[in-house]
Structure 1
Amino acid sequence: MPGGPRNAEPAAGQEGTPGKRPATPAWARKSTLVLLVAVLALAVFGTTTQTWMTVTLDPNQVGHAGAAQTALEVQGSKAATAVTALALVALAGGLAAAIAGRIARWIITGIILLASAGIVAAAATVLADPLAAAQGSIAAATGITGSQAQVAVSAFPVLAVVAGCLLALAALLVIPASRYWNTRTKYDARAAGGAAATSGPVDEIDSWDRLSRGDDPT
């Protein structure tokens, strides 16, 4: 009927209204991604506070210096010192990505990816040669370097590797997700085009940012 197409045209025109920001998918929300990166970075950090290895010393080798301590628990922060520092770097990077500009987000994403790669490499090194990773703790406890011992590895180094890989994947999501985020600087606003750059906030972080600039999001 003639009335059908005329009724459909306004609906199609409303859907294609120029300048309307597309709905933000749940996975691309800034608060969701920032929280995900923070949780994964804290998870990596948390593993380093736990026992990664239990070392059983040989009393015949350590002699009187280690006779009182034949079982030694080694925390992740001692077995892989770099993991602790890199987890904090990734955490800071995730928080910074929430307020960074477009170019800065690329840089921060690269930093988080490098930190994630370092976390995985350091934890994997412990898994590959736990005795070598425990030598520093053995020497501190007994005063003897190069000791032979039996080393039992816990699940925490594996969890650090898994969390590090997930952290890298979360960092990779920042770039495509940032297309849905409001711009952070006047330079981004010019690039995106005035009206689109000043559209309303899509999440709580944007609301706080606008309040800090003196704008009332309500």
Structure 2
Amino acid sequence: MRRARSLSVVGMLLAGAIGVISSTQTWIDVTLADGAQQTLAVPGSDAVPVLTPLSLAALALGASLSIVGPVLRYVLGAIALAIAAAVGVATALVLLTLPVSATAATVTEATGISGADAVADLVASMSLTPWPAVTLLAELILAAAAVFTLVTARNWPGSAGRKYRTAADAPADASRPHDAIDSWDDLSRGDDPTA
């Protein structure tokens, strides 16, 4: 079952990394009807504003999944599934409908004109790059890792923190004399080593 934990962690880290990279890449090329036929590149972070923060959250979930206990595994799996759903739906909307609203921030920044109708009037044409499809695939990977976590988490071995905590809290061997290291261990446990 150690491999199951590794698969879940790697899946979440991979999906989060792809999401962060995708947020900096061009998703939509927009041509404006302004006489000069200016073309603007709309990054993923403008097309789907939640992409960057939720992708960073997926990275954090993947990293923390490797050390948490049984209860938090289910919590993190559920959160990862919610992130995959939120980003996946927003990405699918851009990919399937190509709304002008996905370009509004970039168009407003370039022209100074805001408002949904005004931006729609400025846009002559739009074309997608492969990045929305790559991001949707990453969210499917994240969803699969989250479901896999929820299904297999109960069978994973104990966390690394528990292993070290158990070793530190073990009582000293009574058959040998009490030394300075044992005194430090007593102090760490909150016991008075001078007693």
Corresponding residue of 1:175: 150
Which letter does structure 1 place at the counterpart of 2:105?
A: G
Q: 1:56 aligns with which of 25, 31, 35?
A: 31
Which letter does structure 2 place at the counterpart of 1:210?
A: K
Q: 1:97 and 2:68 equivalent?
A: no
Corresponding residue of 2:78: 110
Which letter does structure 2 place at the counterpart of 1:101?
A: G
Corresponding residue of 1:85: 53
Q: 1:163 and 2:163 equivalent?
A: no
Please tell me whether the aligned partners of residues 84 and 143 of structure 2 are also in contact (alpha carbons under 8 angstroms). yes
Q: 1:40 aligns with which of 15, 27, 41?
A: 15
- 1:99-133 Cα offsets, whole Å, 9 max, x none, are 22222211111110110011111212222234221
Q: 1:136 aligns with which of 81, 87, 105?
A: 105
1 CA distance for matches of 2:123 and 2:132?
21
1 CA distance for matches of 2:150 and 2:123?
48
| TM-score normalised by the chain length of structure 2 | 0.74
2 CA distance for matches of 1:209 and 1:46?
34
The structural deviation recorded for 1:39 is: 1.1
SS in 2 for 1:81: coil
1 CA distance for matches of 2:153 and 2:32?
52
| Distance change in 2, residues 1:142/1:125 (3 Å) | same
SS in 1 for 2:50: helix
RCO higher in structure (CA 8 A, sep ≥6): 2
**Structure 1, 175-184 or 158-167: larger mean CA deviation:** 175-184
2 CA distance for matches of 1:124 and 1:109?
22
Please tell me whether the aligned partners of residues 52 and 75 of structure 1 are also in contact (alpha carbons under 8 angstroms). yes
1 CA distance for matches of 2:32 and 2:39?
6
Corresponding residue of 1:210: 163
The structural deviation recorded for 1:25 is: 7.2
Number of aligned residues: 161
Identity %: 31
| TM-score normalised by the chain length of structure 1 | 0.66
The structural deviation recorded for 1:80 is: 1.0
2 CA distance for matches of 1:87 and 1:39?
10
1 CA distance for matches of 2:51 and 2:67?
25
- 1:50-108 Cα offsets, whole Å, 9 max, x none, are 11011111124xxxxxx5x8111111011111011111111111222222222221111
Please tell me whether the aligned partners of residues 47 and 102 of structure 2 are also in contact (alpha carbons under 8 angstroms). yes
